Amino acid sequence: MKKLVNIVISIFLIFTFSSCSSDGNGDEIEYKQKMREFVINICQYARSIHSEFIIIPQNGIELVTENGDEAGELSQEYLNAIDGHGQEDLFFGYDNDDEPTPTESTQYLQTFLNISKNAGNSILVTDYCSTHSNMDESYSLNNTAGYISFAADHRVLDNIPEFPEPIYNSNSNDILTLTEAKNFLYLINPEYYSSKSDFINAVTNTNYDLLIMDLFFHDGIEFTQSEIDQLKSKLNGGSRLLICYMSIGEAEDY
C-alpha cells in the first residue's frame, strides 16, 4: 500500500443489493454499512501515509445513502471519505455492449451519481461501445452531465481505442488533482503488450489526463517507481495522473 500514491477501488454491485442478512446467530448483518466502513477504513489508513491519497469506488453507487434508496439520508461520512465515483454502463453497455442503456436504468444511476457529484466528488463513467457514433454520443452525454468519461470498445479493457482522434477534451495541462482531469484511459489488462516497455510506450504516446491501470504487469511483476514516473508523461508534454486499480469485490485472473 505504501508504494501507491493513488488507488481506485472497485466495488461490485453484488455487495450492495442485499441490505441485511443473518449471521446464523440471529444477528443481522448490514452489508451496505460494512462496505462503507471498509472503504472508509482504507481511506483513513492510506491518508495516514499520504494525505492526498485518492479513493474512487466503482459501481455500488447506492452506498451514498444510508439505506440505498434514492431519497434516503445521505451517508455523509462515506461521501467525505472518497474523491470520486466510477460507474460502468451509464449510457451504453448495460444490457449489451454497443447498445444504449435503458433510460430508466440511466436515470436511476444518475440520481445517485449526482448525489456524489453535488457532494464535490468527480464522476468517471466507462461506457462500453464501439460504433463511432455511439462513442461520440457517450462522450457528449457524459460531458453534458458534468462527468468525465471513457468510451471503451473492448469490455476487458485491454486496449487504447483508436477513436476518437484526437481524444475527447485533449489538452496539454499538467494534471495534479482528480478535479483537473478532463478525460481518462482505463487500461487494466496488459495481456496484448509483450513487455512493460511496449505498454509504457503505448500510454506515453497518448494525451489522456488520467490513467487507470493495474500495479502488476504479466505474472505478478510490479511496475517500478521509475516506470510509473514515465507513465505520468503525456505525448504533448503535459503530465497525467495515475490511478491504481484494486478490486475489493472479487478475485480474478485475466
pLDDT band for position 50 (50/70/90)? confident
Contacts of 83 (CB under 8 A, 6+ apart): 54, 55, 56, 121, 122, 178
Q: Residue 95: phi, psi to the nearest 5?
A: -100, -45
Decide if pLDDT at 254 tops 60.
Answer: no
pLDDT in tens, 81-112: 999 999 999 999 999 999 999 999 999 999 99
Cα distance between residue 131 and residue 129, in whole Å: 6
pLDDT in tens, 139-153: 999 999 999 999 999
Q: Which letter does DSSP use for residue 126 in this model?
A: E
Decide if pLDDT at 13 tops 90.
Answer: no
Domain boundaries, the chain: 6-247
Asked, as a colleague might, if the bond just before 164 is cis with ω within 30 of 0, I would say yes
Its pTM stands at 0.89
> Cell for 121?
466528488
The distance between the two most distant Cα atoms of the chain, rounded to a whole number of Å, is 60
Residue-wise burial string across 197-214, b where 16 or more C-beta atoms lie within 10 A, e elsewhere: eebbebbbebbbbbbbbb
SS3 (DSSP) at 84: strand
Residue 51 confidence (pLDDT) = 87
> Cell for 216?
502488476
- Identify the bridge partners of residue 152 per DSSP, sorted by sequence position: 128
- Domain 6-247 sits in CATH 1.10.1760: no
pLDDT in tens, 171-226: 999 999 999 999 999 999 999 999 999 999 999 999 999 999 999 998 889 999 99
